[in-house]
Amino acid sequence: QRFDQVGVKKVDFATCLEKSHVISIHCNLHDETFHLLNEHAFESMPQRPILINTARGPIIDENALLQTLQKDYIHSAGLDVFEDEPPLSHRNILLSHPRIVCTGHIAWYSLEASQELQKRAAQNMVMMLNGKIPDDCLNPMVKER
């Protein structure tokens, strides 16, 4: 299993919130992950973790995040994505908080990442042209064929 290979342990969400010192979000946004990190989730983080979101903004309830920072329940946050993009002016208090670092949805970017994305797009196109399902296919109906 991949977890064993890289020396990590798979845990449930509640355990992750309870034990983590750093939480980096990398999930898709859908009904189950909308406001996944909300007031209840933040209150169950005794380690005062650093929170990083480079996935999708609405995974974090930004109002709850601001309250959490004000109550000192988490150490700090790094946000590359926001509930509204670009963030609307009513978010200025959150964006100017001294323990928040914000970037403009570009945290993924590096020369290596850009080259990898181009390479994968070309490999996926070759697979499709050869009648195969691309490795990066996210559509479950297509993958089941």
The catalytic residues are 56, 85, 105
Cβ proximity of 135 and 124 under 8 Å: yes
In eight-state DSSP terms, residue 60 is B
Cβ proximity of 100 and 79 under 8 Å: yes
- Name residues whose C-beta falls within 8 Å of residue 16's C-beta, 6 or more positions apart in sequence: 23
Residue with token string 């959490």: 68
